[in-house]
Amino acid sequence: MILPTPNWMEAPAEPALFAGEIHLWRANLNDASRMSECLAVLSRDEIIRAGRFVFDEDRRHYIISHGALRHVLARYIRTSPGDVEFLEGINGKPALVQRFTDVRFNLSHSGGLALLAVARSREVGVDLEQVNEDIRFEDIAAHYFDPREAWDLRTAPPGERTARFFDVWTRKEATLKASGDGLTGGVPATGRFAVRSVTPAAGFAGAVASEGDDWRLACWEWTM
């Protein structure tokens, strides 16, 4: 099921995240006015990584998305954005270094937009894709989709195939990222994760996956 375009609200300074909730944050990566404040909170390694991008747009998207990640997570763990620390968790999935926190998160960005999912005491994954009408999705589906999914895509009305492809693709990616298996090419345990599709904005497809099925989404617009 694809949820309608959410009502993205401005979040409180200290959002309350309950066990049965997943908070989904949306960030505009094309707002150059956010660059300096985001750059100021990045770690030395992140600044070095940002400097390796050849194109200014890619560099800006990286800086703002990772600055937004730090600003958002700082609200939940009650610290300053520059003091948020990360480590590689299971299969290389990013996690928080901070002790005494059960906050889990995942970040995805595409085409000048980012989605950040935050959960408590459960793994979470998010995927975001800018819809490309020209993509040769038949070959991708034949390789990565299971036979039934590929068949459903081939037999769908022509005008619906692109949307269906991105719906299935983002759901798969979000589930793999929730498990950490997306970084190693693995397959997540069947039934462990529930996944829900969202429409983050016109021209984009997205999905959120998390352990269990007893959770609901709250959608926030990231502002400084």
pLDDT digits over 104-134, tens only?
999 999 999 999 999 999 999 999 999 998 8
pLDDT of res. 190: 54
8 Å CB contact between 131 and 205: yes
Strand pairing category for 86-88 and 21-28: unpaired
Give the C-alpha separation, 14 to 185, whole Å: 36
Identity (one letter) of the amino acid at 107?
Answer: L
- Superfamily designation of domain 9-221: 4'-phosphopantetheinyl transferase domain (3.90.470.20)
pLDDT above 80: residue 191 = no
Give the C-alpha separation, 171 to 115, whole Å: 14
Residue 93: which pLDDT band, with cuts at 50, 70 and 90?
confident
